[in-house]
A and B are shown apart, each in its own frame.
Chain A
C-alpha cells in the first residue's frame, strides 16, 4: 500500500523516529473507530517507546460531525493537547454524534475547557484554513492510498486488520523483530 510518509503535520504518538510506524485513518464519528479505540489506546501506550503511532483524519461524508470534531482535535493539537482531545472525542461519541452543527461545536468547546485550553485561541483555530487544509490533506492522502473505510490501520506500509489487542501485538512484534 502506497502511503504518504510521516510528515511534520502528522500527529505522532510515541517514538517518532522509530522504524515501525502504525498509521490509523480514522473518523471521530465512526462507531467502529470508537469501538476500536479502547484497544488502540492500549496499543499506543504500551508501544509508545518502540513505535510511532500516527493518527490521520478520514472524515466520511455520511457523518455530519466528523469534520468539526477533526478540526477540534487539531485545534487542541495547536495547544499541545491533540491526544487528550482525540481520546475525549472518541470516548464521548454517543453524546455528540447526533447533535446539530452548533451544538456539536459547543460540545467541543466544553471538552476544550475541561482540558484547560485557551478557548478563544481554540475556537479561532477550529475555524482556521490551516486546520481545515490539514484535515483535507489527510483525507486526500488516504484516498490516494486506497483507504475506503475507517478505521484503516497501516503498519509499515501494509494494511492490517487486527481484531484484538493480541493481534495488534503479534503484528507489531513481528515488524519490530524484522526491523531490529
Chain B
C-alpha cells in the first residue's frame, strides 16, 4: 500500500496553487495573532476584561504557560514554520516543503483540538485570540484534507 507521503511526492503537481498561498496567508495571520499574545505575556500585560469575551480567564489560567513558556509562543513558532515552509515551496517548487507544511498543520490541528477541549470543558471560557488561531488552523487542516483526498493514484510523469 502506497503511503501518504509517497503519494504526495508522486502527485504533488495535482495540488492547486491556491493551497500553498492559503498556507502562507493563514500562517501569517496565525503568526501575528500568537505573537501578539506572546508579547503581552512578556510585557506582563493582561488584556482588559471584555463584556463579550473571556480572554483574561484563559490567558491567566495555568494552561497559558507550559514549562515557563507562554503557549502562544509555541503557536507563533508553529505558524512561523508554516510560513517559512510555504515560502520555501514557492521559491524552490520542491514538494518536500509543501508536505512538511501539511505535516506541521496536521500537528497544529491536533493541538488546536486539545486547546478547544481545555477552553470548553476545563477552563470553561473562550478567548477570542485563541479562537481566531483555532479557526485559522482548522481552515488550513481542512485544506490539507481536501488536497490529500483529491490526489489521484495516477502514474507520475517520471514513472
Contact = CB atoms under 8 A, between A and B. Distances in A.
A62 B49 CA distance: 9
B148 interface: no
Nearest to A62: B54
Interface string A156-177: 0000000100000000000000
Interface residues of B, number: 14
Contact of A32 (B48, B51, B54): B48
Majority secondary structure, B binding face: loop
B56 A32 contact: yes
Interface residues of A, number: 15
B47 A148 contact: no
Interface string B35-56: 0000000001111111110101
Given A30-B56, A31-B60, A63 B49 contact: yes
B57 interface: yes
A98 to B, nearest CB: 10
A33 interface: yes
A62 B125 contact: yes
B48 A151 contact: yes
A60 B55 CA distance: 12
A107 interface: no
13 contacts: A31-B46, A31-B49, A32-B48, A32-B49, A60-B49, A63-B49, A148-B50, A148-B51, A149-B48, A149-B49, A149-B50, A150-B48, A163-B45
Closest 10 CB pairs between A and B? A30-B49, A149-B48, A32-B46, A149-B50, A62-B54, A148-B51, A31-B60, A31-B46, A150-B49, A31-B56
